[in-house]
Amino acid sequence: MPPPLEFGPPELRLDAFMARANAAYYANHDPFQDFTTSPEIAQVFGELLGLWAAVTWRQIGAPAQVKLVEAGPGRGTLMRDALRAASRVAPDFHAACDVHFIETSPRLRESQAALVPGAHWHDALDNVPDGPALVLANEFLDALPIRQFERSGGVWSERFVAHGRWVLRPAVIAGTPEDGTVTERCEAACAWTAALAVRLARQGGAALILDYGPARSAYGDSLQALRFGKPADPLQAAGEADLTAHVDFQAIAEAARAAGAASWGPITQGHFLNRLGLAQRTRRLAEANPARATELMQAAERLGAPSRMGELFKALAITQAGTEPPPGFEGLT
C-alpha cells in the first residue's frame, strides 16, 4: 500500500485539500471498489436518462447534431445504456448524437472507451466543442471541493487541514447560529453550474443533474470519505479515499438562474424516475428476464424508494430561459 500523499504546504484550506486528494484518488484507484452508482445498480437508470435526452432533444428543436455530454461518466455504463435505449426508441436522436465525456482519469477513460467506442474526451466543460448540448451529470458535483466554516465562541472560523487535523482560521460570513454549527460553501459546484448555464443559454440545450443532498441550503457537516468500501476519516490517508460532500441544490439552482438559464426542481430522484417510467420499464425487463425478476425489482426499489436512494438523491434540470419544462419536471415552476 502506498504511503499517504504529502501535499507540499503544511496547511491547506479544505477545498484545496479535497481537490488534490480526489485528483490523486481517481488517477490511481478504481473507485468502484469503494462505491457503486445508480447506472451500475440497474440498467433502467441509464435507459431512462437516454430517453429523457431524446425527448428533450425534440423540445429544443431536434438539431441535426447535438453534443451528448456526460460529466464524470464512471465506467461509461450510463452512456452505454442511454445510447442503447435511444437507438431502439429514438433512432433519429441517436443518429444526431456526438458523445463527449468530461473525464480526467486515464484509468476511467480506458473503461469508457471499451463501453462507448467513438466518444470524445475532455478535461473540462470549456473544452467541449460549441453547439447545442445535452449534459448529464450523475454523482459528479458531490466530488467537487467544498469549504467549511465552524461557529465557536460566537465567531466563525474556516477549516484548514494540516497533518491530518483541522486547523481553524478566522473568517467572516453571514449568520449567527449556535456554537458548534458547521456550514459549507460549494463554490466549485456553483462555478461549474454557472459555466454550464451560460453555455446552454447562449448555444441551446439542457442539462440534467442527479446527486445527493438537500433541496434547500442548510447548516451541517456533510464531508465524508470511503476507503476499501467503508466510511473513513476524510483527513487521513489523503489520496487513498474518495471524498464527497452533499450537493446544495438551492445554491446550484440559484447559480444557474443568475447565469441566465432556467432551472427546474430539484425533485427527489424517486419522484423523477417514477415520472419517467421506472416501474413500467422494470416490469417489462422482469417479464423478459424471469430468472432476474427479483434482482431487477430490488434494484429499482433501491433507486426509487424513499428509504433507499429515492429521497436523499435529487434531480435538477437546467434549460434556456423561456422553454417548456423537460421530461419529469412538468408542472413545476
- pLDDT tens-digit profile of 58-93? 999 999 999 999 999 999 999 999 999 999 999 999
- What predicted TM-score, i.e. pTM, was given to this entire model? 0.94
Inter-CA distances, 74 with 45, 104, 113, 125, 283, Å: 14, 11, 11, 16, 27
Residue 34's pLDDT is what?
Answer: 74
Q: How far is residue 113's CA from residue 198's CA, in Å, rounded to a whole number?
A: 29
Domains of the chain: 1-29+147-185+232-241 (no CATH), 34-144+188-213+248-320 (3.40.50.150)
Amino acid at site 228: F
Helix (H, G, I), strand (E, B) or coil at 205: strand
Q: Which helix (H) or strand (E) holds 230?
A: strand 230-232
Q: How far is residue 262's CA from residue 333's CA, in Å, rounded to a whole number?
A: 10
- Nearest of 215, 187, 26 to residue 106 by alpha carbon: 26
Q: How far is residue 247's CA from residue 273's CA, in Å, rounded to a whole number?
A: 19
Cell numbers 425489482: residue = 297
| Model pLDDT for residues 126-145, shown as the tens digit of each residue | 999 999 999 999 999 999 99
- Nearest of 275, 273, 264 to residue 318 by alpha carbon: 264
Pairing of strands 97-102, 66-71: parallel
Q: CA-based angle 144:146:152, to the nearest 5?
A: 165
Residue 262's pLDDT is what?
Answer: 97
| Model pLDDT for residues 10-41, shown as the tens digit of each residue | 799 999 999 999 999 988 888 777 778 999 99
Counting residues of the chain whose pLDDT is more than 90, the rounded percentage is 91
- Nearest of 204, 321, 169, 183 to residue 248 by alpha carbon: 183
